[in-house]
Structures are given as C-alpha cells and as structure tokens.
Structure 1
C-alpha cells in the first residue's frame, strides 16, 4: 500500500475459499481487518484471525452474522469501525452457488440465492457507503460477481442472474459515489478451487448420476482456459489487492475478469 497509515477493510465470507485468500492478502498488504462470516464458521474464522495476527501483526476483529440480514451487516460495520477506526474498504465477498437447471430450481432456492448474492451485496455496499461518506475521505467498495455474471452457463440460471445483478449494482453505485472519492468495482472469477466449486460438483454429479468429485476433478485436470488450470484463492486475492490499492484510484464501475483467459471482454 502506498499510504503509511494503516487502513481498515471488512471481508465478508472470510472463513474459507476466496474470502480467506483475500483476508490473507490484505493482511500481507498491511491492512487491519474486520472478518465477517456465519456463526457456524467460528472455528475457522478465529483460526484465520489468530494466524493473521501472528504472521503479519494485523489487528483483526471477527464479527458473526448473515449478510442477507440487514441488521447483521449494519452491526458489522459499526463494530469494526468502533474497534479498529475509520473504514477504508468493504469486500462484499460472501455468496452461495448451486447447479440446477432452471425448471428444477425451487422457489426457496431462488429466494436464498437472491437474499445472499444480491441483498447481501446491496447491504454491504449500502452501509460501507454510508460510513465512507460520513468520514469524507473516499474509499473502496468491492463486490463478487463471476464469469457467469457476464455470460450465462448451463445449470446456473438463477446464480448467473444474481451475478449479472451484482455487475449492475456495481456500475450504478460507482456513479452514485464517485463524487465522494469512493470507487466501486467487482471481481469476476472463473472456476476457483474452493468449497463453492465443490458444492457445484456435488449438485452436478448428483444431477447426472456421476460419482461425487467427477466434475471437479475434470475441471482441475483439464480446465478450458488459456492457462490450462483452475484458479486458486490467491489468484483472486491479488486482483482484489490491486482494486483496493492507490494504483486503482482511477478505476471504478468495472467487473474485473480473473479466469485464466477463458472468456474475453
């Protein structure tokens, strides 16, 4: 980071996968962190927090809740600011995924995807923006879209729709908050070797009558992109590190594709 002042970032969905990778990278970059995840992730999140304190000297606050619950997100921002000081960046990473053809998708599943992937990102953007505007010093807001938020994918109709929505939310928020010196961007990963990918494998193999792990193993061995491999959490974390840095001060409203060269804008 170009600034000598310790900045504070919140990372949602930080206990595992991409969120964990982002937290590790931002700690390495010198930021202090508010880590947010579900109560059932407490053991993993506390272990991560402890490791970041020990390795990087990071000040870490852990907050538990659900991003789809507005009061939980509001409380997370208030708690982190109270414990660590002014907010600099919100990383709205938390999300869920499924593999289910459109006509087989239940209304309950649609509601859950909309609640977490759209409302959850909206709440994070909203309360981060309110805090950053109040502080009057600019800042960074970053959300999680996907390559299927740029191009639809078989078996992911509703998930894809939620990720398209994050792109629209990001573009519009960038125009709302530019006057405050706040940039709003998103990252659009391809397949990344995380529990989210394993969940897609579980759903898809069950649908197609395949042994669990078949689809994931094929992805990991022969991924169809320019680099010939699936992503790792640290690949996405590097992109987020850039988006929150001073070097990205003139970039806003963008959804940065990080997929090893599978799709091109």
Structure 2
C-alpha cells in the first residue's frame, strides 16, 4: 500500500468503543491497523470499514502479549510506511467482591488492561523515535475510565487497573516528552456497549434483580440523561489524536456526560 500521511494502531477495535474510534479516525483521514482478540471478528470489522472507504488492515492478536504490539507496529509500518498514533483501547471488565478475588482472575485483568498499555507504549515509542519527523508530535492514547478516578464496588480489580493506566500515562508523558511524544488518556463513563451488558448481567447474578436494572440505575446517574455512545468517546479521541492537542500531555480526562465532577 502507498505511504499514508497519518497512521494509527487501535487495539480492541473490532467492536464497541474501539470500533467507534476507528470509524471517526477513518473520517479524519487516518489509515488504520484494526486489532481484536478474535481473528474472525477483527477481519470482519476491517472488511466493513474498508467497504465504507476507509484504509485499513486487520491484525488480530492478544494484547496481553508484548509480541502482539511489536507485530501491530510492524504491520502499520509495512503497510503504510509510518506510525503516528497508537491507541491502547483494549480492555476487559470483571465483577466481584475484592474478598472473593482470585489471583488468577486478578492477574488476567491486569495482563489485558495494564500490561497491554505498557507493551503498546514501548512498541510505539520505539517506532516514533526511529522516524525522522522533525517537529511533528506523535501520540500515545490510553483507555482509562471514570473507574480510574473513583473506585466502584464490585469493580475493584477493574477500577484498580484503570487507576494504574492513569499512572502509566503520567509517567510515560514525562519520560517521552523530550522525544516529541505526548501521552494522554480518555476516561469514558456508562457506554452502551457489550461490556456494560456484561456488567449488568454479572451484577444481577451477584446481587439479584432483573436484566437491565443496574444499567438503568447507572444511566439515571448521568447528568446529560442518556447513555454514552462509542461516537461520544471517539469524538474526544479524535481531538487527542489531532494537532489541536499537541500541547496536552499526561492527562486523563473524563468524558462521561456528567457522572463525576472531580
């Protein structure tokens, strides 16, 4: 493929928020590497985006593995000639009380949510430092959460991973600024995706109640009165990926419709 002016890797972009981000960055003129854990879903999403006229390539893989991030960077450079933005979007949720948390499940969520951000940052920064871009700012963008600002009951392990991502974002921003690399995070709220359907179902299983009860209660706490959409998140990520945010680094901004005011 021909060299592109702007190229992004988006982990966890075969569905949900990541898919929404890919849709928006495609409109912004990015060529994109689409990633997901399940190869069939990843390839299907890439094909659908290509049918919409976007420039994409599918690169399925497990983001908890460092080799996957190295592969994603190589895929971007091989297909498009460069890399400009690396979005560590992939993540999973787990429901349960801290006293019942097993070492296995705790390590699993950290591997997917936190290890992936470290490995993605390392792989992207290595490529950015090799590119002869002059004064051009390159971007690393991480997915935290409102649960990375305030911990939520029965989302203890998940909340702690999102706090950890804020810490990694701040440290990476400080260490990479001298290379012309900014590092920021977006912190979504109650997004109407499969993840919140899962959270609602698990809350019912843990605490009783009816399907949709916990999702409705969460939405009722949003000042703007509706669930967040992937497009709401993607609009902000578009800003973080654009030159308009070149003087912003180390921040983890809540984009939640008014759930938390801190």
TM-score (norm 2): 0.94
| Structure 2 residue aligned with 1:132 | 128
Secondary structure of 2:106 counterpart:
helix
Alignment of 1:12-51 (within 5 A): 12-38=11-37, 40=38, 42-51=39-48
Aligned counterpart, 2:169: 170
Deviation at 1:58, TM superposition (A): 2.3
User: In 1, Cα distance between the equivalents of 2:46 and 2:27?
Assistant: 13
Matched, 1:238 2:238: no
Whole-Å Cα distance in 1 between the matches of residues 130 and 256 of structure 2? 36
| Partner Cα separation in structure 1 for residue 224 and residue 31 of structure 2 | 33
Q: State the distance in 2 between where 1:113 and 1:44 align.
A: 21
Distance in 2 between residues matched to 1:165 and 1:254, nearest whole Å: 13
Specify the alignment match of 1:209 in structure 2: 208
How many angstroms apart in 1 are the aligned matches of 2:240 and 2:179?
17
1:35–1:62 contact (8 Å) kept in structure 2: yes
Structure 1 CA distance, aligned partners of 2:226 and 2:211?
Answer: 20
CA RMSD of aligned residues (A): 1.3
Q: Which residue is 1:88 aligned to?
A: 84
Cα deviation, 1:54-99, whole Å, max 9, x if unaligned, reads: 32x3221111111101111111111221111100000100001112
Residue 259, structure 1, aligned to residue 253, structure 2: no
Structure 1: how far apart are the matches of 2:69 and 2:126?
12
Kindly state the Cα deviation for residue 134 of structure 1 after the two structures are TM-superposed: 0.9
Q: Provide the C-alpha distance between the structure 1 equivalents of 2:97 and 2:62, rounded to a whole number of angstroms.
A: 26
Task: Tell me, in whole angstroms, the C-alpha distance in 2 between the residues paired with 1:79 and 1:59.
Answer: 13
> TM-score of the superposition, structure 1-length normalised?
0.93
Number of residues of Structure 1 aligned to a counterpart in Structure 2:
256
Partner of residue 123, structure 1:
119
Q: Structure 1 regions of 5+ residues with no counterpart?
A: none
Runs of 4 or more, structure 1, over 3 Å off, are 217-220
> Which moves more between the two structures, 42-51 or 164-173?
42-51
**CA apart distance, 1:203:** 1.3
List per-residue Cα deviations over 1:26-67 (Å, max 9, x = no partner).
Answer: 0011100001111x2x33322322232232x32211111111
CA contact (8 A) 1:59 1:84 kept: no
Q: Do the aligned partners of 1:206 and 1:212 also contact (CA within 8 Å) in 2?
A: no
Residues in 2 aligned to 1:136 and 1:239: alpha-carbon distance in whole angstroms:
28
1:109 and 2:105 matched: yes
